[in-house]
Copies of this chain bind each other. A is one copy, B any other.
Amino acid sequence: MKNRPIGIFDSGLGGLTAVKELLNILPNENIIYFGDTGRVPYGSKSRDTILKYAIQDIEFLKSMNVKMIIAACGTVSSIIGGSNVNIDIPFTGVVEPTAMAASASTKNGKIGIIGTTATIKSGAYKHALKKINSSFNVFEQDCPMFVPLVENGFIKDNDKAALIIAEKYLYSLREKGIDTLILGCTHYPIIKKLISKVMGPTVKLIDSGSETALFAANLLYSLDYISTRNTKGVCSFFVSDTVEGFSKTASLFLGRNINQDVKIVDIDSYTI
């Protein structure tokens, strides 16, 4: 069991921001990453469709004999929490670990959440925060243009169009006086500097991917599931669309160059 890979998935390549952190913390683990690039994005789609896709993603990772599954996708994590999907191996989404980190960070109890439309609509982050401390003041805002901006390279912190759009989405959260902002989508760390520019230096940004990687590593320790390998682990990448251009885009999210191949999965064929 210990030397089986860790499975991580996302609607696309945003989840690689969680892989980046996991590679830092647990370099000897084998990792299997699946990005559903053939059906990306999830965040603008309905609960039922997202759930159907998430179940197929999980079944694929299970077929790869993973010891744990991480849904490194704010949208999937938000939807799956309120469902009755039964995953019979250790599992975590990004919502709870991120809410916990935000609750540890806030001083004034005013916490903001940004994410895809599906994530915000689910109320999952808000629910998790209120469960930790019902007196928190929680403010939510969906930012449906952030994923397209990131995916199309509008990521510089002085990009004029991105700044105008960010200001439109974020000004009301800033006005509320929050001191902590949850980046509830694993794409958002790529424009962390830009978001910080709009929110101001007093607002702490909580990165859902890295908080979740931290929790997953702790969970593996507590279960005694950490690999006994003494050498660097291998990261294998799977996608549902083209592999063309994968290395370039993936390197952006992963923060390092990717040398190995990526394989294509016929994700429609995976069902419970």
Contact = CB atoms under 8 A, between A and B. Distances in A.
Interface of A: 37-39, 44-49, 144-145, 148-149, 151-152, 154, 160-162, 164-165, 168, 240-242, 244, 268
A241 B49 contact: yes
A38 B267 CA distance: 14
A49 B38 contact: yes
B145 A242 contact: no
Q: Chain B CB within 10 Å — which of A161, A162, A165, A244 has the most?
A: A161
11 contacts: A37-B45, A38-B45, A44-B151, A46-B241, A46-B242, A47-B242, A144-B151, A145-B152, A160-B164, A161-B164, A161-B168
Contact of A242 (B45, B165, B168, B244): B45
Contacts of A151: 44, 144
Residue of A45, A144, A148 ringed by the most chain B CB atoms within 10 A: A148
A251 B268 CA distance: 31
Contacts of A168: 161
A264 to B, nearest CB: 9
A37 B165 CA distance: 24
Nearest to A245: B46
A169 to B, nearest CB: 10
Given A38-B45, A161-B165, A268-B268, 13 more contacts: A37-B45, A46-B242, A46-B244, A48-B242, A49-B242, A144-B148, A144-B152, A145-B148, A145-B149, A145-B152, A148-B148, A160-B164, A161-B162
A161 B166 CA distance: 10
Contacts of A154: 145, 165
A39 B38 CA distance: 8
Contacts of A149: 145
A1 B70 CA distance: 53
A215 to B, nearest CB: 31
Residue among A37, A38, A240 facing the most chain B CB atoms (10 A cut-off): A38
Nearest to A269: B268
A146 to B, nearest CB: 10
Q: Top 5 nearest A-B pairs by Cβ distance?
A: A46-B242, A148-B148, A161-B164, A161-B161, A49-B241
A151 B116 CA distance: 14
